[in-house]
Structure 1
Amino acid sequence: MGSRKVTFSEPLDWQGRHVTVAGLGVSGIPAAKVLHARGANVTVVNDGDDARAREQAAELEALGITVRLGDGATLPEGTELVVTAPGWKPDKPLFAAARAAGLEIWGDVELAWRLRGPDSAPWLAITGTNGKTTTTQMLASILKAAGLRTAAVGNIGVSLLDAVLGDEQYDVLAVELSSYQLHWAPSLRAHSAAVLNLAPDHLDWHGSMEAYAADKGRVYEGNRVACVYNVADKATEDLVRAADVEEGCRAVGFTLGTPGPSQLGVVEGILVDRAFVEDRHKNAQELAEISDVNPPAPHNIANALAAAALARAFGVPAGAVRDGLRDFTPDAHRIAHVADVAAVAYVDDSKATNTHAAEASLAAYESIVWIAGGLAKGATFDELVAKSAKRLRGVVLIGQDRALIREALARHAPEVPVVDLDRTDTGAMLAAVQEASRLAVAGDTVLLAPACASMDMFANYNQRGDAFAEAVRELGS
């Protein structure tokens, strides 16, 4: 192949180094520009060769960066390091060639970690199957309420490269990390980190649940102060036990129940801390009330506790936790109340694109007409339906894989009325809302929590949620 093995150590000297960047897009283009600006000889390879890719390639080529479109499989001659977009699967031929040549493979998170300065802000890292974005934004809000210069970065918001290399000076960063990003970030060492939950997801990418969990667990490696885990999800605690952390780093749990020592939890409607207090065996610190969490659904209270744990690990006072939670406004399509029509609440949780997220959403309401369906991504629905059956007044099914949910309902909730809309066009959402309104009675919640991806009918979950909200508005007009 002609590639040569090079060990990259700090401080890095990029001048004349031959780096291959795998993938154009939101991470590949900034990585290529940053490395080129540091004197590296950069070649970008990309599988696609469409109009958008050619436009992006022209932008990079104008800077003197080489771009190869339509050939993401071949390792360029002379490559010394590969920097990949996080979504590229580990089994791609390009990576096999790189490993055979003894080359390191980094993701954009690893690159940002290696390029950060000696006085750069510490990272408070968050991962998990569901709730990452909300928890990261909650954490950033709490840190800001404490007067700290911060940003929500990583898989959301500001890119990590911009955060560590830009002119803005931060005291601490709230970092959302996906399993893809963690897979390609071998040297990341956070101040403190949390794994919110673990459920089967992206198994086609990782190859197995064990590999998926192991990549999530990388977030704990080298933690200095706290590894935050979910008491209700033993798999997250197992990842803490397996992690190699710095001396003195503590395991800190969060729970919706009464917390034990070294835990955060809930007591009579109050979020309390028994981890970051003196004599935690006897004392507890009040942090906030459940009513300070928006929305106060059980899974969102868990998100708030995880964010609070990371903030407290960084030394944030209790009052800032309360103020930060009060100031926080969740993104659209995350268990968002759209309207009340005829004493029925209509709630948009289009972001619930897998069964784990849908289960948390369904647990937030007592009597539900559930709108579900879409692309199942290999998921099964028996456990979800069995756990949620007692809350269901009715179900309206849409989307390509709705039969899988219908069959699970027949097995585990045969008494629940089901309307199966044999449609996958975008107009089906209006019909779904109309059917749900007929099934609902005063006091019910019509809940869009599809448990499936949206791309069979919509561009993304945002468009699906917007269609739901528009249908609700039409219903109430």
Structure 2
Amino acid sequence: MAARLDDLTSWHADWTGLRVLVLGLGVTGFAVADTLAELGCAVRVAAHRPDPDRARILPVIGVELLELAASDEVPAGFAEHEPELVVVSPGFLPEHPHIVWARERGLAVWSDIELAWRVRDKVVPPADWVLVTGTNGKTTTTQLTATMLQEDGRRVAPCGNIGIPVLDAVRDPAGFDVLVVEISSFQLHWLPTSGPGAPLPAASVCLNLAEDHYDWHGSAEAYAAAKAKVYENTRIACVYNRDDAATIRMVENAEVQEGCRAIGFGTDTPGMSDVGVVDDLLVDRAFLDDRRTSALELAQLSDVAAAGLATPHGLANSLAAAALARALGAAPASVRDALRRFRVDHHRTELITVVDEIAWVDDSKATNPHAAASALRAYRSVVWIVGGLLKGVDLAPLIVEHRDRLRAAVLIGVDRSAVRAAFERHAPTVPLFEVEHDDTGQVMPTAVRLAARAAQGGDTVLLAPAAASMDQFVDYADRGRRFAKAVRNHTEGEAHDDGPPTAGSTGV
């Protein structure tokens, strides 16, 4: 069995009849099943609560669906037509019973990323890959890198964890020059670092490392080890964050291809082999011959601000993207022009409105403390809307760091008690207000009403929850949209609630 899998290193290899079990029927799982069916494999998909539209398509493409019960127990008859390979969707925990079942039988477990690497030559020549990971900033950096390479005349697809499965990009009949792949720690966990399924990216970056997803990985060390895989086998440039010691260690310990360079990025003056900032310019001291004494101008800080990336975090993402694009040969003018036409996605420190000298900002994408800290640092006086599904992380260090800039805090989400306890211990003078609604439709209107009563002229009301959204919302975008709608309703006069709040107020 292993020998057959080792031979499957091309779209044009003989995949016919390979028995494959796909775990999950989300966007990634469907792309995996569709790809394998196109290759001629015998495919079964096992999924909890499968999406009805995708489920209806499976029989059309010759794929069998096994709908799993609410419990995680392996159902009787699961081993019928025992698979030769299991391909797992990113959300499945390593100790999930179905994965344990596969491991106990000695079955190979692949991610969609490994499958995509093996079949990347469907369209010849295959695209170069750029891998982007990090606790925060992955999507913006992925999109911005792709935009810079597009400005340079390349056919580029931003894909992966960004929402477009990498397998869909690989199978695009027009083909691409470069795939810029956002890759999560879940996907990296399953990715081999050697052998036929291990990617050889042209360039790679881990933007930063902070507390996140410890509940999934089991420990900080396991989370860091998964992130570090992004640098393995890189061919041209390992891009790292000069201000993040963890990413420096990752590069130092990575096994890379001969000739690969370490390229640092940071928002200060760059050293040799770095990109950074001098006065009001983004500059490159990495990809030029006379880098000992010279630097290339890439863009102006005003270009970064126009793109919606004026925060320190946004500037760092811009520099990381520039380093990746330059590693693949993009001209300095392409970096500049891309920044000038780029606009950051919604829900990333997005200004909704300013009314009565109070700014309302949506950073719903801040799903962990590191991201929330970046948003908080950008404002002098904040009414902070915080909380949700904490994923096992501790908000105490974040609260300690930013308590002096907090006018008040409005607590939302199922883990409010932990957030409240952290405030009471570390910031007891910050007024707290809680939204106790179980009705999703009432959470944001209540939060906005409480925040408006606490805010004063010059304040920023900031939704930067430092927590995941799935406790009460579909996803972070749903949370952000509901916040923005509630803000607009309130500021247009549809939801006034006069009178100052008192500490300990709740919305019920």
TM-score tier, shorter chain, comes to: over 0.9
Letter paired with 2:90: P
Deviations 1:39-89 (A, max 9, x none): 22222223x2x4x45664443234333332227834444422222212222
Aligned match for 1:170, one of 176, 179, 183: 176
Task: Kindly indicate whether residue 87 of structure 2 is the aligned counterpart of residue 86 of structure 1.
Answer: no
* 1:52-451 equivalence runs, <5 A: 52=50, 56-70=54-68, 73=74, 74-117=78-121, 119-186=125-192, 187-293=198-304, 294-425=308-439, 426-451=441-466
CA distance in 2, matches of 1:417, 1:54: 45
Report the CA distance shift for 1:340/1:58 in structure 2 as closer, same or farther (over 3 A).
closer
Q: Which moved more, 1:64-73 or 1:234-243?
A: 64-73
CA separation of 1:76 and 1:220: change in aligned 2, threshold 3 A: farther
Seen in structure 2, the aligned counterparts of structure 1 residues 60 and 419 have a Cα distance that, compared at 3 Å, is closer
| Equivalent-residue separation in structure 2 for 1:431 and 1:65 (angstroms) | 46
Residue 44 of structure 1 is matched in structure 2 by 45
Matched-pair contact (CA < 8 Å) for 1:28–1:85: yes
Letter in 2 for 1:28: G
Shift of residue 107 of structure 1?
1.0
SS in 2 for 1:235: helix
Query: Deviations along 1:318-357, whole A, 9 cap, x unmatched?
Result: 1111111121111111110000000111101111111111
- Which letter maps to 2:449? Q
> What TM-score do you get using the length of structure 1 for normalisation?
0.93
The 1:272/1:175 distance shift into structure 2, 3 A limit, reads: same
**Greater Cα offset, 309-318 or 264-273:** 264-273
Amino acid at match of 1:131: G
Structure 2 gaps of 5+ residues are 193-197, 493-508
Cα 1:212–1:76 change in 2 (3 A) is: farther
Q: Does the C-alpha gap of structure 1 residues 244 and 439 become closer, same or farther in structure 2, counting only changes over 3 Å?
A: same
| Distance change >3 Å, CA 21–CA 76, structure 1 → 2 | farther
Alignment partner, residue 504 of structure 2: none
Work out the CA distance in 2 between the residues paired with 1:419 and 1:92: 38
Distance 1:317 1:215, change over 3 A: same
Contact kept, 8 Å, 2:309 with 2:318, in 1: the verdict is no
Contact persistence 2:214–2:391 (CA under 8 A)? no
Which secondary structure does the structure 1 equivalent of 2:61 belong to? coil
How big is each residue's C-alpha offset from its partner over 1:280-304, in whole Å with a ceiling of 9 and x where there is no partner?
Answer: 2221111112221223011111111
Partner AA of 1:59 in structure 2:
I
For 1:17, the equivalent position in structure 2 comes to 18
Aligned partner of 1:27 in structure 2 is 28
Deviation at 1:124, TM superposition (A): 0.9
Structure 1 residues 248 and 473, CA gap change in structure 2 (3 angstroms): same
In structure 1, the partner of 2:502 is none
Amino acid at match of 2:222: A
Taking the aligned partners of 1:271 and 1:413, their CA distance within structure 2 comes to 38
Aligned residues of 1:36 and 1:42 also touching (Cα < 8 A): yes
Output the CA distance in 2 between the equivalents of 1:262 and 1:327.
27
Q: Secondary structure at the match of 2:45?
A: strand
Q: Secondary structure at the match of 1:227?
A: strand
Q: SS of the residue aligned with 2:102?
A: helix
Identical columns (%):
49
Q: Closer, same or farther in 2 for the Cα pair 1:421/1:169, shift >3 Å?
A: closer
Question: Paired residue for 2:501?
Answer: none
Seen in structure 2, the aligned counterparts of structure 1 residues 30 and 443 have a Cα distance that, compared at 3 Å, is same
Secondary structure class of the residue paired with 1:326: helix
Corresponding letter in the other structure for 1:253 = G
C-alpha contact (below 8 Å) 1:230/1:237 kept by paired residues: yes
The answer on whether the counterparts of 1:424 and 1:456 sit within 8 Å (CA) in structure 2 is no
Q: Kindly provide the amino acid, as one letter, of the partner of residue 260 in structure 1.
A: G
Q: Name the SS for the 1:458 alignment partner.
A: coil
Q: Indicate the larger mover: 63-72 or 287-296.
A: 63-72
| CA deviation after TM superposition for structure 1 residue 424, in Å | 4.2
CA distances 1:73-106 after superposition (whole Å, capped 9, x unpaired):
3444442222221222222333334334433211
Q: Distance in 2 between matches of 1:128 and 1:174?
A: 14
Query: Are the aligned partners of 1:4 and 1:101 in contact in 2 as well (CA < 8 Å)?
Result: no
- Aligned-partner residue type, residue 129 of structure 2: W
Assess if the C-alpha contact under 8 Å between 2:25 and 2:45 holds in 1: yes
Gap change, CA 1:165 and 1:407, over 3 Å in 2: same
Alignment deviations for residues 401-432 of structure 1 (CA, whole Å, 9 cap, x no partner): 22322332233333333333444433232232
Inter-CA distance 5–470: structure 2 relative to 1 (3 Å threshold): same
Contact 1:5/1:101 (8 A) holds in 2: no
AA matched with 2:130: L
Distance 2:412 2:66 in 1: 41
Q: Do 2:139 and 2:182's aligned partners in 1 also have CA atoms closer than 8 Å?
A: yes
Separation in 1, partners of 2:55, 2:367: 33
SS in 1 for 2:364: coil
Cα gap change, 1:54/1:366 in structure 2, threshold over 3 Å: closer, same or farther?
closer
Q: Is the 8 A contact 1:258 1:267 kept in 2?
A: yes
- Aligned with 2:27: secondary structure? coil
| In structure 1, C-alpha distance between the alignment counterparts of 2:40 and 2:410, rounded to whole Å | 57
- Alpha-carbon distance between aligned partners in 2 of 1:322 and 1:209, rounded to the nearest angstrom: 37
Structure 1 position 241, deviation (Å) = 1.2
The aligned counterpart of 1:464 is 479
Distance 2:98 2:138 in 1: 30
Given the superposition, is the C-alpha separation of residues 83 and 457 from structure 1 closer, same or farther in structure 2, using an over 3 Å criterion? closer
Q: Does structure 2 conserve the Cα–Cα contact (< 8 Å) formed by 1:353 and 1:454?
A: yes
Kindly provide the amino acid, as one letter, of the partner of residue 83 in structure 1.
V
Residue pair 1:369, 1:439 contacting (<8 A) in 2 also? yes
Please give the alpha-carbon distance, in whole angstroms, between the structure 1 residues aligned to 2:68 and 2:43: 17
Letter in 1 for 2:227: K
Distance 1:125 1:429 in 2: 36
Q: CA 1:224 to 1:394, structure 2 compared with 1: closer, same or farther past 3 Å?
A: same
- Output the amino acid matched with 1:191: A
